[in-house]
Amino acid sequence: MAETTSQKLLRALKEYGIMTLGMWIYAFAWSSIILPARCTGGGASGLAMMIYYASGGTVELGTMVFLINAVLIVIASFIVGWKFSTKTIFSIIMLSVAMNILQANLPADIMQLGEERLLSSILGGILSGIGVSLCLLQGGTSGGTDIVALIVNKYRSISYGRILFMTDFIIIGSSLLVTHDIQMVIFGYVVVAACGYTADAVLAGDKKSSQLMIMSKHHDSIADAIVNELHRGCTVMDGTGWFTKEPTKVVMVLCRKSETSTILRTVKRVDPDAFISNASVTGVYGRGFEEIKR
């Protein structure tokens, strides 16, 4: 069933709303936790932080993030062509605006972490990981090293993760030339590690799937409801209840974890006496799920 105009609008509003929330969380982590603790990190935000320290704190962090991303986008457009979605541009602008607003209006000690640089780097990394993953789940990106990876892959067959690691390693290490603070470098790597681990956990959680096996005399009504109301495919198989020795139909559904509760409510509405098993699946590949990669 094709989406109506109102459905497309609502979906777009939801996606951009979640991306906005993610970028504000990311901006809060940098402007109100990482920056006041004199820590640093990777990507365009880490490079902007270096410029901020080099200028004696006279530049706006969000403005520098925007300028760095703008330069990278211009360079990349000449090398690999225009491959940037509206969501990427939106995310970069929203991040820059949020950073400037928070930096100008929130007190530096709002989290009252004082000199707890380790705690600040861990908490800042976790929050920035949550923020960037919310954006990635909706098809956006915060720019920075993502754009660098696109440029490098034009000439070298290097994995995306390795490019990000190498770029962040260089950016954080280079901050030593500006601040002469070895602890800042160490805590910068803590920020990157916490951010990466959190983002991986959030993104992996979104990809987890469930396999539901539903046994019911009203299997046809259940299957129709799953397909027509929830727009999720299912398979009806023949089975035999060995306790009763009676033939039965089994509806098998593969779905995202987030869809499980909705399907269970639908089954309960159609047949409160249905027998259901719910198992976690480590990988589902094909239409509507993950793509098989070499």
Average pLDDT of the chain is 85
pTM attached to this predicted model? 0.71
Band (pLDDT 50/70/90 cuts) for residue 278 is very high
Chain segment 99-139, per-residue pLDDT in tens: 999 988 887 667 666 568 898 899 999 999 899 888 887 87
149/41: higher pLDDT: 41
Residue where the block lists tokens 């409510």:
265
109/210: higher pLDDT: 210
Quick check: 42 and 192 in contact, CB under 8 A?
yes
173 pLDDT exceeds 60? yes
The DSSP bridge pattern shows strands 275-281 and 246-256 to be: unpaired
Q: What percent of the chain has pLDDT over 70?
A: 89
| Domain ranges across the chain | 5-206, 208-281
Residue 21's pLDDT is what?
95
Residue 108's pLDDT is what?
66
Residue 277's pLDDT is what?
94
92 pLDDT exceeds 80? yes
Compute the average pLDDT of residues 199-210: 75
CA 190 to chain centre: 19
Residue where the block lists tokens 């956990």:
201
87 pLDDT exceeds 90? no
Q: What percent of the chain has pLDDT over 90?
A: 34
Quick check: 281 and 254 in contact, CB under 8 A?
yes
Compute the average pLDDT of residues 24-46: 89
Residue 1's pLDDT is what?
44
| Closest by CA position to 165, among listed 140, 148, 143, 186 | 148
Q: How far apart (Å, rounded) are the C-alpha atoms in residues 259 and 105?
A: 40
Chain segment 45-66, per-residue pLDDT in tens: 989 999 988 888 888 889 999 9
Q: Which CATH number fits domain 208-281: 3.30.70.120, 3.30.70.141, 3.30.420.40, 3.40.50.10300?
A: 3.30.70.120
Helix (H, G, I), strand (E, B) or coil at 240: strand
Band (pLDDT 50/70/90 cuts) for residue 88 is confident
Chain segment 217-276, per-residue pLDDT in tens: 999 999 999 999 888 889 999 998 888 888 889 999 998 887 888 899 999 999 999 999
Residue 200's pLDDT is what?
77
DSSP 100-152: HHHHHHS-TTTT--TT-HHHHHHHHHHHHHHHHHHHHHTT----THHHHHHHH
